[in-house]
Amino acid sequence: MLKYGVIQELHMNKSKSCIFLVVIIFLLCNIFLVSALTGAIGNSKMVLYPDVNGITSTKITKSILIKNNNPVPVNITLKLDDNSTKFITLAEESFIMQPNTEKKAEFVVSVKKEGTYDGKIAVFFKSAEEGSKEPGVALSANIVVIAKKDNGYTDTGSDEPDATEQNSTSVGNILKDLFKDDKDVKENESPINGKNIIIFSSLILTLILIIFLVILIKRGKKKRGKLNGRRK
């Protein structure tokens, strides 16, 4: 009887130790995932339809919603590609955002002639904490302008280059040029929030933990059944 009690106690202690170890690993993995810098933007794709007269520029003020969902301050830098510089002006090229805040980064679209204008604005996130080695995150917003003639449209024959005739520079090339000294830049042309990856990874880890616990419980029941059978 005593021997059975000792064996059962050792088995329970072993099971508790395994469960404790799994929980610790789970928590450490979550801490690592949550600490990763993330980036998120709204209005990442917009199409505008201004009327133009061919003489004076039609101006439209728009904005990209930038979200800092990180627990640390973040440096935000915006950069236009070659096409965008022909018809977009940034209100601010860089600024610092405090943790868990949002900010509208305004820009002005200015077009005079009929045509389709297509460009990208790169948004780069990097930790503002001194000495931080967190890799940066790069996202991009696509701005399309389809300018239509108004009733009094006049073609002035301006030598100003039309945006549709320019060779587009990808957001990747912009970022390589802008942040060529930063080897930790993560490029991402789609506005995917890094928190989605964290949530998905946490769910997988939780599922693994549950499966592991179920296996341990089943094994414990089988061993207890065998011991009870032997005692009888």
DSSP-assigned states of every residue in 51-84: EE-SSS-EEEEEEEEEEE-SSS-EEEEEEE-TTG
**pTM (2 d.p.):** 0.59
Secondary structure (3-state) at 133: coil
Pairing of the two strands 94-97 and 101-111 = unpaired
Mean pLDDT of the chain: 75
Q: How do residues 46-81 score in pLDDT, each as one tens digit?
A: 999 999 999 999 999 999 999 999 999 999 999 999
Q: How do residues 163-186 score in pLDDT, each as one tens digit?
A: 333 333 445 555 555 545 444 344
Give the residue extent of every domain in the chain: 2-35+197-231, 40-192
Residues 6+ apart with CB under 8 A from 51: 58, 147, 148, 149, 150
Most confident range, picked from 3-12, 124-133, 170-179, 207-216: 124-133
| Residue 229: other Cβ atoms inside 10 A | 8
pLDDT at 213: 79
Instruction: Report d(CA 123, CA 76) in Å as an integer.
Output: 7
Q: How do residues 117-155 score in pLDDT, each as one tens digit?
A: 999 999 999 999 887 777 889 999 999 999 999 887 777
Instruction: Answer for the pair 86, 161: CB distance below 8 angstroms, yes or no.
Output: yes
Q: Which fold has domain 40-192?
A: Immunoglobulin-like (2.60.40)
Q: Both ends of the chain: CA-CA distance in Å?
A: 11
Q: Which residue has the tokens 């099971």?
A: 15
Give the residue among 58, 166, 146 at the shortest CA–CA distance from 108. Answer: 58
Backbone angles phi, psi at 225, to 5 degrees: -65, -40
